[in-house]
């Protein structure tokens, strides 16, 4: 690779600036105003061009480049950062009387000065602080314990509603505080995807938002579609607050909106307690119509000059308070219990309730989780159950309404045979749930396994949706995962009786082509696709890498499996049980015959660094010295111990030797950081 002088780089620098400006504008319109100025295709083209330029010339990549929106930076651990200004919490209450007391006390303390309140939504998410200097986002930190939080900057950059550069006028140095929330729709889609992949769904959007911010792979965080709601502007004590924008909290939020922040429009200036109560009552009902979760209302004194006068208590300001909504609860008659059989045979009991209205939706069914749950709630036949809807979207059963208990009613008798295939259920030691062990011929398990096998993160056989799989299953053509690879064109054509769903020539070709393509899916994903109980995507990767090929994995003992990072007794048992089943072994054999990848690809991840020679010096954040050298070689590069005219890059970590630096500078060898390196190998 040639070394470029400043002049040579100029056209690229200009193109980077041009692309950055365009993409930022399109992003802003998309995230803030829900408007697409260009087609997805055009947008992707521009972004791809910028990514490629940044990869080629890492020194042109700006810290707040819009390419950061797609992520790619790896956080091995999150640096702990002390907040410049502590992140205080608010006094909070469920009682309207306490809000009345707050209002009366505030009025008393303020005396004759005219003032007002703002009432706004209390977002149910994760509080973060964003530092902006000269209009650029420089750091994002979680609240943590209020004094110290985690630096999550690279993940925050992937959130579309967090501006990376500000527009118009802005204070030169300030912190924007707000909440990262997971909008319901995106959260549900994400949880469905998790379930399809055999992963435990998140209990609520807040937990999912929090987990997402702590993801090591920021590209993964980018896919989560989180949203940032700004609610507070924190200025340093020496800031010039004379500007009329800054005198009131509502003025500051209006200004923040102009800078490009997403500030929700649901904020109201209130003159007195009646108006505050009206706002609270309104949102206690209307909250269910919002596309994201709130758990209360925040009331703040609007005039910033009064904040000092009111002061702070030990941990919260006296000029604000949060009113928290109570969870809504109803009771309803338990009509019957369905026992659902999942893909891995796990049984989930689900209560059928007399339909009842709760928090804006009609509840008909609610999960009873497992046998232990039913026993711990002491649920009897014919009971009335208490159903609650808190911050979560999914109502949950929280107890029995004893006022309706029928005399002589018996505790619910849990089933002991599979409702689908009649097999005696099994309950492993220490587990709360039962499962059906008939993995080979219990229909929902067979179907579930087929669906899992073709799913996007497994074999990614796109043209096969659940409907077609059911069709193939019912017709007897596909009973287990190996059968996909025996399908013939003539068997597929005409399949499906009802008109539009019938498979035609083109459909059959697409299916066969997609199946064919899956033969090159890497071994890690084949292991995941097999659908071994408790083996999720990450576990499958670790197991595949450890054993390297299917034979070693099939013959692995419990002890060997326990050597794999994060594999415990339960997973190890499940893997051994899976491969001891003679039918499963036959299926795996047929998959091998069909040409699926049954071993790890050669230890050669890519050739992005082909022809380049690196000298490595210093200490790195995310790699040990050996790891970074191995990584260079895996990507086709060479590692050398000393700098010469042939060295392409000096990869510099912390505490790099001064001699190396001097020599590199003398010979004009480009010096790159660990982050630059990560960009170069990014696919």
Q: Which x/- pattern, by CB under 6 A, does the window 49-88 give for ligand IVH?
A: ---------------------------------------x
Say what the alpha-carbon torsion angle 230, 231, 237, 239 is, to the nearest 10 degrees: 60
- Calculate ∠ Cα 550-552-553, nearest 5°: 60
Q: What are phi and psi of 466, to 5 degrees?
A: -60, -35
Tell me if 420 contacts ligand IVH by CB under 6 A.
Answer: no
Residue whose C-beta lies closest to ligand IVH: 127
Nearer to ligand IVH (CB atom), residue 88 or residue 514: 88
Q: Which x/- pattern, by CB under 6 A, does the window 297-336 give for ligand IVH?
A: -x------------------x--x-x--------------
With CB under 6 A as the contact rule, the residue among 28, 83, 122, 468 that binds ligand IVH is: 122
Nearer to ligand IVH (CB atom), residue 198 or residue 205: 205
Nearer to ligand IVH (CB atom), residue 88 or residue 598: 88
How many angstroms separate the CA atoms of 185 and 362, rounded? 18
Q: Which x/- pattern, by CB under 6 A, does the window 161-200 give for ligand IVH?
A: ------------------x---------------------
How many angstroms separate the CA atoms of 633 and 626, rounded? 11
Interior/surface letters 357-384, b for 16+ CB within 10 angstroms, e for the rest: ebbeeebeebebbbbeebeebebbeebb
How many angstroms separate the CA atoms of 275 and 383, rounded? 42
Q: How far apart are the first and last CA of the chain?
A: 19
Nearer to ligand IVH (CB atom), residue 93 or residue 613: 93
Centroid of chain to Cα 682:
20
Q: For the CB of residue 399, give the shortest distance to ligand IVH in the complex, in Å.
A: 28
Task: Pick out residues in 521-550 that bind ligand IVH (CB under 6 A).
Answer: none
How many angstroms separate the CA atoms of 75 and 218, rounded? 8
Is the distance from CB of 236 to CB of 173 less than 8 angstroms? yes
Tell me if 231 contacts ligand IVH by CB under 6 A.
Answer: yes
With CB under 6 A as the contact rule, the residue among 123, 339, 384, 547 that binds ligand IVH is: 123
Q: For the CB of residue 310, give the shortest distance to ligand IVH in the complex, in Å.
A: 12
Q: What are phi and psi of 305, to 5 degrees?
A: -60, -25
Span of 118-126, 520-528, 551-559, 634-642 interacting with ligand IVH by CB under 6 A: 118-126
Q: For the CB of residue 459, give the shortest distance to ligand IVH in the complex, in Å.
A: 42
Nearer to ligand IVH (CB atom), residue 141 or residue 572: 141
Nearer to ligand IVH (CB atom), residue 319 or residue 339: 319
Span of 114-122, 277-285, 325-333, 650-658 interacting with ligand IVH by CB under 6 A: 114-122
Is the distance from CB of 579 to CB of 559 less than 8 angstroms? no
Q: Name the catalytic one among 55, 68, 122, 646.
A: 122
Nearer to ligand IVH (CB atom), residue 87 or residue 529: 87
For 56-112, the DSSP string reads: H-GGG--TT-GGGGG---B-SSPPEEE-SS------EES-HHHHHHHHHHHHHHHTT
* 470 has catalytic annotation: no
**In the β-sheet with 649-652, what is the strand arrangement from edge to edge?**
638-640, 613-617, 649-652, 670-672
Q: For the CB of residue 287, give the shortest distance to ligand IVH in the complex, in Å.
A: 13
- Calculate ∠ Cα 410-413-419, nearest 5°: 145
Tokens 């993940």, residue?
155
Q: What are phi and psi of 349, to 5 degrees?
A: -80, 135
Nearer to ligand IVH (CB atom), residue 320 or residue 358: 320
Q: For the CB of residue 58, give the shortest distance to ligand IVH in the complex, in Å.
A: 36
Task: Pick out residues in 261-300 that bind ligand IVH (CB under 6 A).
Answer: 298
Q: For the CB of residue 410, give the shortest distance to ligand IVH in the complex, in Å.
A: 46
Tokens 């995962």, residue?
481
Q: For the CB of residue 147, give the shortest distance to ligand IVH in the complex, in Å.
A: 14
Residue 159's alpha-carbon distances to 14, 134, 223, 582, in angstroms, are 26, 20, 9, 48
In terms of Cβ atoms closer than 10 Å to its own Cβ (0-12, 13-18, 19+), residue 49 is middle
Size of the site for ligand IVH (CB under 6 A): 16
How many angstroms separate the CA atoms of 61 and 100, rounded? 53
Q: How many distinct helices (H) and strands (E) make up the chain?
A: 24, 20
Q: What are phi and psi of 330, to 5 degrees?
A: -140, 165
Span of 119-127, 217-225, 426-434, 621-629 interacting with ligand IVH by CB under 6 A: 119-127
Closest to 462 measured CA to CA, from 453, 473, 472, 471? 453
Q: For the CB of residue 92, give the shortest distance to ligand IVH in the complex, in Å.
A: 6
Q: For the CB of residue 392, give the shortest distance to ligand IVH in the complex, in Å.
A: 17
How many angstroms separate the CA atoms of 461 and 452, rounded? 10
Contact partners, residue 377, CB within 8 Å, separation at least 6: 397, 399, 400
Nearer to ligand IVH (CB atom), residue 293 or residue 359: 293
Nearer to ligand IVH (CB atom), residue 58 or residue 317: 317
Nearer to ligand IVH (CB atom), residue 269 or residue 486: 269
Contact partners, residue 589, CB within 8 Å, separation at least 6: none
Q: For the CB of residue 154, give the shortest distance to ligand IVH in the complex, in Å.
A: 21
Q: Which x/- pattern, by CB under 6 A, does the window 356-395 give for ligand IVH?
A: ----------------------------------------
How many angstroms separate the CA atoms of 348 and 367, rounded? 7
Tell me if 89 contacts ligand IVH by CB under 6 A.
Answer: yes
Q: For the CB of residue 88, give the shortest distance to ligand IVH in the complex, in Å.
A: 5
Task: Pick out residues in 127-156 that bind ligand IVH (CB under 6 A).
Answer: 127, 143
With CB under 6 A as the contact rule, the residue among 54, 73, 103, 120 that binds ligand IVH is: 120
Where along the sequence are the contacts to ligand IVH (CB under 6 A)? 88-90, 120-123, 127, 143, 179, 231-232, 298, 317, 320, 322
Residues designated catalytic: 122
């Amino acid at each position: 690779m040639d070394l470029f002088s400043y002049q040579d780089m100029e056209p690229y620098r200009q193109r980077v600036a041009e692309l950055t400006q365009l993409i930022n504008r399109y992003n802003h319109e998309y995230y803030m105003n829900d408007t697409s100025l260009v087609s997805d295709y055009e947008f992707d083209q521009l972004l791809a061009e910028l990514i490629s330029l940044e990869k080629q010339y890492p020194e042109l990549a700006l810290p707040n480049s819009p390419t950061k929106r797609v992520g790619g930076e790896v956080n091995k651990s999150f640096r702990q950062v002390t907040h410049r200004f502590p992140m205080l919490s608010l006094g909070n209450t469920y009682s309207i009387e306490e809000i009345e007391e707050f209002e009366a006390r505030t009025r008393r303390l303020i005396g004759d000065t005219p003032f007002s309140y703002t009432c706004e939504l209390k977002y149910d998410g994760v509080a973060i602080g964003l530092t902006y200097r000269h209009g650029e986002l420089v750091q994002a930190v979680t609240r943590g314990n209020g004094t110290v939080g985690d630096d999550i900057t690279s993940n925050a950059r992937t959130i579309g509603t967090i501006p990376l550069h500000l527009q118009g006028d802005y204070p030169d140095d300030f912190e924007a505080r707000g909440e990262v929330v997971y909008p319901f729709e995106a959260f549900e889609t994400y949880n469905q995807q998790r379930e399809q992949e055999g992963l435990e769904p998140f209990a609520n959007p807040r937990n999912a938002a929090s987990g997402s911010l702590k993801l090591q792979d920021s590209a993964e965080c980018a896919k989560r579609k989180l949203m940032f709601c700004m609610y507070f502007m924190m200025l340093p004590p020496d800031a010039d607050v004379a500007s009329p924008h800054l005198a009131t909290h509502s003025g500051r939020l209006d200004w923040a909106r102009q800078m490009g922040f997403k500030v929700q429009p649901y904020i109201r200036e209130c003159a007195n307690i009646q108006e505050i109560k009206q706002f609270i009552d309104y949102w206690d009902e209307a909250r269910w119509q919002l596309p994201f979760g709130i758990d209360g209302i925040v009331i703040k004194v609007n005039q910033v000059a009064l904040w000092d006068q009111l002061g702070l208590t030990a941990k919260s300001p006296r000029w604000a308070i949060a009113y928290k909504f109570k969870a809504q609860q109803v009771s309803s008659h338990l009509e019957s219990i369905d026992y659902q059989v999942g893909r891995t045979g796990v049984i989930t009991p689900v209560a059928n309730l007399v339909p009842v209205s709760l928090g804006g939706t009609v509840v008909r069914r609610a999960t009873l989780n497992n046998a232990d749950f039913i026993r711990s709630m002491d649920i009897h036949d014919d009971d009335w159950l208490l159903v609650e809807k808190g911050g979560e979207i999914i109502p949950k059963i929280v107890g029995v309404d004893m006022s309706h208990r029928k005399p002589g009613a018996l505790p619910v008798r849990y089933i002991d045979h599979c409702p689908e295939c009649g097999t005696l259920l099994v309950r492993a030691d220490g587990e709360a749930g039962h499962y059906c062990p008939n993995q080979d011929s219990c229909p929902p398990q067979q179907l579930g396994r087929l669906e899992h096998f073709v799913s996007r993160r497994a074999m990614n056989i796109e043209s096969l949706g659940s409907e077609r799989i059911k069709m193939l299953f019912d017709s007897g053509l596909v009973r287990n995962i190996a059968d996909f690879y025996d399908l013939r064109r003539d068997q597929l054509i005409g399949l499906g009786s009802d008109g539009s769903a019938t498979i035609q020539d083109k459909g059959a070709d697409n299916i066969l082509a997609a199946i064919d393509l899956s033969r090159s899916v890497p071994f890690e994903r084949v292991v995941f696709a097999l659908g071994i109980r408790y083996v999720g995507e990450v576990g499958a990767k670790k197991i595949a890498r450890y054993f390297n090929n299917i034979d070693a994995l099939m013959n692995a003992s419990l002890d060997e499996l326990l050597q794999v990072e994060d594999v415990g007794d339960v997973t190890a048992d499940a893997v051994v049980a899976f491969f001891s089943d003679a039918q499963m072994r036959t299926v795996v054999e047929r998959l091998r015959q069909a040409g699926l990848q049954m071993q790890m690809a050669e230890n050669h991840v890519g050739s992005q660094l082909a022809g380049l020679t690196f000298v490595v010096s210093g200490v790195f954040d995310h790699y040990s010295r050996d790891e970074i050298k191995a990584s260079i070689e895996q990507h086709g590069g060479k590692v050398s111990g000393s700098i010469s005219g042939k060295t392409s890059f000096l990869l510099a970590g912390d505490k790099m030797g001064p001699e190396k630096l001097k020599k590199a500078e003398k010979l004009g060898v480009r010096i790159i950081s660990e982050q630059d390196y990560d960009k170069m190998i990014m696919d």
